Amino acid sequence: MNGYKRNLTLRSFDQSSINQINHYKKGVTKFQQKCVGVIFVILVILWLTRDIQGLYGWGLLFQPKYVSDATPAVLAVFFLFACPKNNIFQGEDYVHLMNWKQLQTIFPWNVILLIGGGLAIAEGFQKNLNLE
């Protein structure tokens, strides 16, 4: 074959051993990763079960148009601020998963203020000019 040898070492591994190597490289799942995962799963479940075809769901427990898709998102953010970063049941110190300083540095406030300001101006024009 023109003097080239094929590298067969990669083929000697089966997929399960490659998965084991990748799992070993990632390390042990930390407590904070488990907490964020649980919060995310709860968020998705709340999104999916708020209104199931208008007949079922936890959203029917409230007045019409009282809850929206933003309600579970705000609840998830609250839990990110309230849940501990370390396992407090093993005697570790209580540190929040997220604090306000972290949120201020990683959140794009300029985009949120721009969009919010635009929506507020549009709402003001609709109210004053009676546009529908």
pLDDT of residue 13: 59
β-bridge partners, 52: 56
Between CA 54 and CA 88, with CA 39 as vertex, the angle to 5 degrees is 145
Q: Are 78 and 30 in contact (CB under 8 A)?
A: no
**Cβ-proximal residues to 132 (8 Å cutoff; 6+ apart), any chain:** 126
pLDDT tens for the chain, 132 residues: list them. Answer: 565 655 555 555 567 777 777 777 777 778 888 999 999 999 999 999 988 887 788 888 888 888 888 999 999 999 999 998 888 888 888 888 898 888 888 888 888 889 999 999 998 888 888 765
The alpha carbon of residue 96 and the mean position of all alpha carbons in its chain are separated, in whole angstroms, by: 16
pLDDT of residue 126: 85
Q: pTM value?
A: 0.64
pLDDT of residue 20: 77
